[in-house]
Amino acid sequence: MATFPPAMAPDAATTALRDAVGTPGKVVIITLCAWSLGFALYGIWLCLTHVFRTADIHEVLPPVLATLLVWVMAALAVFTNENAEVPAPARIAFLLGGPVSVTVLSCWELYRLGKYHDVSVRQALGR
């Protein structure tokens, strides 16, 4: 992905680099940029097909895992104090907006799994 700035950045340093390497260098930079884009898209596809297929393990794992991960990220944001200059009401909205909405959607998904497919967290734990 480091090929994108030399290929596309409009600042003086990268423009000078593109001018210094000439046309053959520009062709190489653009070819590497296109390859990087293809590589990134292929990586995204692999993540979607292999990493994020947690429902293959058990149907309730995606909502439980999403809820857990979003609250862990919120806790990290509290401890790193990354939004210290933001006013308190906005900081609270930033901090709780994502986790609360993901938790509500995950609870709704668990409710629907239980109601329509008779799948529960208790069954996932083998009890």
What is the tens place of the pLDDT at every residue in 77-94? Answer: 889 987 888 899 999 998
Output the pTM of the full model: 0.62
Residue 118 region by backbone torsions, left for phi larger than 0, else alpha for psi between -120 and 50, else beta: left
Cα(37)–Cα(101) distance, integer angstroms: 32
Tokens of 18: 């593109």
Most confident of 16-20, 41-45, 118-122: 41-45
What is the tens place of the pLDDT at every residue in 19-78? Answer: 888 888 778 888 888 888 889 899 889 888 887 788 888 889 899 999 999 999 999 988
